[in-house]
Amino acid sequence: MATAARVVSSDAVPESLLNAFWAYDTALLANDTARLMNLFAPGPDTLRGDGRTLLVGHDEISAFRSARSRVPTRHVHEVHVRMLGEDTALTLAPTRDGAARGMQTQLWERRDGHWRILAAHVTNAAVAPQAVRPEACDPRIWRIVGTPLARHRADGPLSGHTFAAKDLFAVQGQSRGAGNPTYLAQQHPEPRHAAAVSALLDAGADLVGIAHTDEFAFGIGGTNVHYGTPPNPAAPGRTSGGSSSGPASAVALGHVTVGLGTDTAGSVRVPASYQGLFGLRTTHGALDTDGLLALAPSFDTIGWITRTLDDLHAVATALLPPAAPDHPPTRTAIIAHSLTYVDADIRDAFTATVSDLVARGAIPEPTFFDIAPSTLEQWFTAFRVVQAYEAWREHGTWLAANPDAVAADVTQRFAAGAAVTKSELSTALAAVAEARATLRNILSDTAILMPSTSGPAPDVTATGDEFDAIRSNTLRLTTLAALAGAPAISMPLLHDATGRPVGLSVVLAPGADLGLLRYARRLQPTNL
């Protein structure tokens, strides 16, 4: 049974043992009680324990499993095996669920040619939401928090959920800061909530607070010279990813269940990838952007970040309009040259994961589209020109009046927009239209798969040149969905050679947002 999770052992491990291990994992993630119980040794001496209780005997374990309806969302990171004898083995498997960590320990015995579990202990990887006290909030993550800052208006499908709003969304009674203290000081309190904030409150969620962003959302690193870099609990010492950096870290740390963000060129998918979370970029224009501070309206979309696919889907069901019956994609595509932008170990992990998904029947064998590198580069350049032009159009007046208020690297990006000529803009708009038509034609019956980012989160001490190289390669991946105006999801299904998370992205046709989440469920019960 194929898997991309690393097996660590100094012993010769029987393939039949690994097959039994992965059969158990597959059954667990499918909540298939019959198959699970077939893998526990029969009799009164079998044990299963966790942090709360110890179950003794096959019948007691079976009754416990039959009563459970929740399907786990954690995945196995690696498997350590110690052979205690020819027919006895111990397995320890670290597990991950977003930023949370767990451990699965099993004692196996082979009888009559079949491996079964004699004893098992599970350390739960769940992270319970933690209330954030205003006096204790991390200033790298939060601009302001309340208890809550805004309470839900009525019970609804998101009752019990809490969210952090990126500091681009209007929150009634608060000023928008856009990640810049000078801009914040010059704003007036907002008279009403942004449409997306209102929709979440109407659906039953509570707004905990306003979380930081890269300045004006014009960045994907998560760094902010004024407020600091939010922590990345999935990769300590590494950047959080941005520009929806604060909401992502708030979710990863369990402060909230939902991070409300925006995605122009990857600003939801990048922090989700770097922090081992789920992130959804919605179809361009699918949600009302009233009350949202724009960056580049031709590409700006609303999105959100969660620790679980269930939560991601719950928010989508509450916010997105009911979808017409969708036609699931019949093909899977990989844009061949896009993999040249990816670190070698992530390329290997992606290839192994796709192979595993094909072997499990989750997706069809992918088709490799050979879009010429020069064409992809032309599209990327066009995106950058239009994005920069629109960003300057939105904020140029304020920037000209406050020339020293913004970090140097962000200032350079805005300056590029100020320098765009009419001829350059016209050429870029034509290339964007060509890219959109080509990509939408592919997406009409096809799901495009790719790594969400070029690699794991960079070290916070990386040089400017290192950050620029990572940013450049990652944007060449993330802007494909933006050019198409299409929905895209990042799922925490990949990791580098040292275990740091990287997302796997799926892009579907514009308007297929809910279908994309249903498609993602096919990928989720995995042995990764």
Which active-site residues does the annotation give?
Answer: 166, 243, 267
Strand order in the sheet with 278-281: 142-150, 206-211, 162-166, 258-262, 302-306, 278-281, 488-495, 501-507, 446-451, 331-335, 367-369
Strand segments, DSSP code E, in 21-113 are: 47-49, 54-56, 75-76, 78-85, 88-97, 100-111
CA distances 364 to 330, 423, 429, 501, 512, Å, are 8, 43, 35, 25, 19
Q: Please identify which residue in the block is written with the tokens 């159009």.
A: 393
**Separation between Cα atoms, residue 413 and residue 383, nearest integer Å:** 13
**Separation between Cα atoms, residue 57 and residue 35, nearest integer Å:** 17
Q: Please identify which residue in the block is written with the tokens 């032309």.
A: 378
**Separation between Cα atoms, residue 347 and residue 391, nearest integer Å:** 33
Q: Please identify which residue in the block is written with the tokens 């019948």.
A: 59
Q: What is the DSSP string of 99-145?
A: TEEEEEEEEEEEETTEEEEEEEEEE----------GGG--TTTEEEE
Pairing, β 258-262 against β 75-76:
unpaired
Angle at 223 between CA 140 and CA 483, to 5 degrees: 125
Question: Residue 244 has which token pair?
Answer: 């929806």
Question: Residue 265 has which token pair?
Answer: 């060129």
Question: Residue 374 has which token pair?
Answer: 């020069």
Q: Are 241 and 221 in contact (CB under 8 A)?
A: yes
Q: How many CB atoms lie under 10 A from the CB of residue 186?
A: 14
Q: How many CB atoms lie under 10 A from the CB of residue 154?
A: 9
3-state secondary structure 398-417: HHHHCCCCCCHHHHHHHHHH
Q: How far is CA 94 from the centre of its chain?
A: 20
Q: How far is CA 429 from the centre of its chain?
A: 30
CA distances 55 to 24, 67, 93, 95, 250, Å, are 18, 14, 20, 21, 35
**Separation between Cα atoms, residue 304 and residue 311, nearest integer Å:** 10
CA distances 395 to 302, 375, 414, 525, Å, are 19, 30, 8, 44
Q: SS3 of 272, please?
A: helix
